[in-house]
Structure 1
Amino acid sequence: MKNWLNKYFMIFVASLALMSCEKDEDTVTVRTGTEPALTVSATNLVLLEDEKANDAVTLNWSASDFGYNAAVNYTLQFALKGTDFAAPVELNAGGGILEKKFTVEELNNLINKLQVTPFEENEIEVRVKATVSKFVEAAYSDVTQLIVTPYLAEPGYLYVPGGYQGWSPETAPALISVDNDGIYKGIISFVGATDLGFKINPARNWDMDYGSGATAGTLAEKGGNLTVPTADTYEITANTNTMTWSYKLKSWGLIGDATPGGWDKDTNLKYDNAAGVWKATIELKAGNIKFRFNDDWALNYGDDDTSNNILNQGGKDIPVTTAGTYEIVFDNENEDGSVTYSVTKK
């Protein structure tokens, strides 16, 4: 019996050794990828707006080899000279792609994201980043120097259709990127809405839309509905460089014993994107009103001189002498910096 057990044990050990050898033969050695070799068709570029549809430059690079059969993804990185790519503007070229052609408009929009000076020569550095996994060190090409004279980028727009306005991209308010640098902001009012879902669209149609990504605060093409927590007014920010978005409460309301909520609860005003003012039609009682920001007294406006309709921060209560239906308009975007209002009986 003992001899039989010994023989069984030896066979078991031999089997483990054989399996170990077979596993070693299948081991893949991962190494740092070879550096892509980058070439560009031109290095001194003057970009003109009336030529924006023309080809500007073509970038080509060689494949990077990481020592095993894996899909290599290539990303173009652009940075101001001397910044050591601390905050590059990146363009994902995709897996297995070894060329990128830029039109004048595409390159101009990309270069403007670096906060360059328009109509002047700007020294730009570009390189290619090759990756196969977040666990494997990336490989980079040598840096190529460009001199680019861009034109002033026109503002960029994204549109925000949602349940609050009937899911209509044709009439949706816009987020604006003043420098067309991929960062868009705008004020969106969900006041009175029961459906708080929305999307962010690059055009006034449903050909493409951005919704919720895999994690909170991220965007994905044709993702699920984005949403805000309550039917209030928010400043929405979308960053198409990082495919992220965020919101923060930005709400002006009316408060006072003349309002439906008294001195305890604001009646929200709705932001009119076209006019750039805050509005509401409200049933008021005889009494007093004030305007305040984000349901808090830290920033509020009253009127110390009712003859000119100019508000004063922390000013006196505004009297409403007769009950009725009133249109309220609050304007804090006047060119002279003043904050004005009107209370008009309907």
Structure 2
Amino acid sequence: MNMKINNILLLCFFLLLLWTSCEDSGDKYYLLGLEESDLIVTTDKVVLTQDNSSDIVLSLAWTKGTLSVSNNKVSAPDVYDTSLEISSTKEFSSLVEVRGESLSIAFTGKELNAIAKELGVIPDVATPIYFRLKGSIGNNIPAVYSVIKEVSLVSYEIDMSRGLILDKEMNDTGLFLFSENEDGIYRGFMGATAWANFYMQEGNGTTWGNDGVDGDAFLLSSEDDPEKRWNLWFPSVGGSYYVTVDTQKKLWSALNLPEINIAGDLSAQMEFDRSSNSWSYSFTADEAKEITVSLSGVGKLFDYSTGDQDENLAISTPFGFQKEDNELIFAEEPSNFTLAIPEVGEWTLILDLSNPLELTCSLVAGTIEPEVVNSEVYLPGIDDLLIGGWKFESKLSLFNEDDLSYAGVVNVDSEFGYGIYLEKDNWDDFYKLDSGDQLDGKLLKGAEDNIPAPAKGTYFINVSLKSLKYSVLALTEKVYVSGLNDSWDFNTTLEKTQNDGIYSGVISITKPSEYGFQIHIDDSWNNYFGGVEGKLYYTGDNLKEDQTLDLGEYILTVDFISESYEITAITK
């Protein structure tokens, strides 16, 4: 607003100056440049689908109108302003105005579809959409417009009932929350580890994360700027959550369900399986019959008022499940419902929360054993020139069970490449190369070709057996300590020692940090280790020894290969 006022004042001053000069000289000067700008459109037909929603589907470019004076000895100020107007009528009776920062603008399918919805365009019907460029130099001076360009547009239905859950890299996870009234309030159940990250994307393409300007947990932002919009994160407690994302109030909350109790003809506590987002209880039936049960518990509500750090501050919230018109719903208290056991034997009661459109509670024959996820994988061949053959010594540790992701630092000196093996001394279950090179690629279970190894050295390796990807990063001469004394930067470093994978240096504790600190192997903010009681964990909880140690200087030594660290006081 201040810029626009300044432009108008500058123009008025310039016109006054011209008028005064003209009066003195008797000459007439004319302000030129308000003629139409050329507008170019890349196509006159666009068909939008979910498949091309992320692609550039339409681009427009134009020439810049400039002000000049009829006397070339006098220059005019640059206060010419342009914007693009879009309408579903030639008269532009209703329109959407878009400002481009340069002399062109490009629309993705998602962006153009959102504009079509705002204009009231009927989905799946070819509809003429009109574009024109508006040029102006002030509110009190009539604007000029370019020639109108017409584009035939077929839009698609925007489903505002689903909020898609994206991972921290903004990839679709296949999960979603549900907005029953399509009013921007989304709800559903999620299984999460402590501090798990995610974003939520609405059907119109708006992506919600945490407010990065304020920085407090549970505040929402849709700013398309990584400095202003961070990822959302769960609190310090992992497990089953009932999540509410309210885009109207720009707040979200997470109700942790620490346990679900069965009452009635069965009396037990159910077990939660995060990978399937379900609860279960197995039992033996001694006769065929109908049973009456209820499901309830007391949750811990985390929201903006409680913060994300201390579960003791979470709000105690009773909950239950009710049956209404044969539909299972989440409520403040439980109701009884019946289930039929058709025959004697082993049965499992399963509460499936994975689909927010259809919660189910059912009996399944047999006992369901939880899927075992290996805590480590092994890399035979990665170090065969160091240890004399393919052995199960170098390994990676599990850090994300949902994605089956493993990471760690290993010494590399390989003759023929390596494989990723699921169990120690088990040569039958492994992943090798599908495609890629020494630094990144795709995996294939049971493949014949070894994964190519990089040159001799110390490397950080990250693999996902769910997305079937691997990446390799060479360690440098130093690593970084960030968060000490509440300074989140890369100014404190640890230097590489004579022993591969071990770094050491002096750290100074001048005050207890609020959140603890991390060890970063590079300055990308993505590759860091947390730790507790001398054990390092990739992307784990922050180290917090500085909150209890005396102020002063210490030697911090980290051994990435053994996944350990040590803090020693400097005696003077």
TM-score of the superposed pair, with normalisation by structure 2: 0.28
- Higher strand residue share: 2
TM-score of the superposed pair, with normalisation by structure 1: 0.43
